[in-house]
Amino acid sequence: RPENIELGADGDLPATVTLVELIGAEKYVFLDTPAGPLISRQSADLAVRIDDRVTCRLDPRKVRFFSEPDGLALPSLHARVAA
């Protein structure tokens, strides 16, 4: 989910901003990463522009993967470890 992708210096996934959409008190930041495209929801106060290089932090407990052929959600790795 876009709200689970943090932008900041402590991130470990490099990204380039490809689009910024301001929607009220929030902005959606579209990112190109080595893992593929991502969208991050941020406060409208965040200073970011197209072509900025940023880093992303993903909480592994909140990451969800989907099957490419059919789009079905795959079981969470966190759920497997916790079980």
Residue among 13, 52, 11, 20 at smallest CA distance from 39: 20
Q: Which two tokens stand for residue 26?
A: 């929030």
Tokens 């190109």 locate to 32
Query: DSSP character for 64?
Result: -
Distance CA 32, CA 83 (A): 34
47-76 confidence digits (pLDDT tens): 999 999 999 887 777 666 677 788 787 777
Give the pLDDT score at 21.
Answer: 94
Distance CA 79, CA 70 (A): 22
Enter the pTM of the model.
0.75
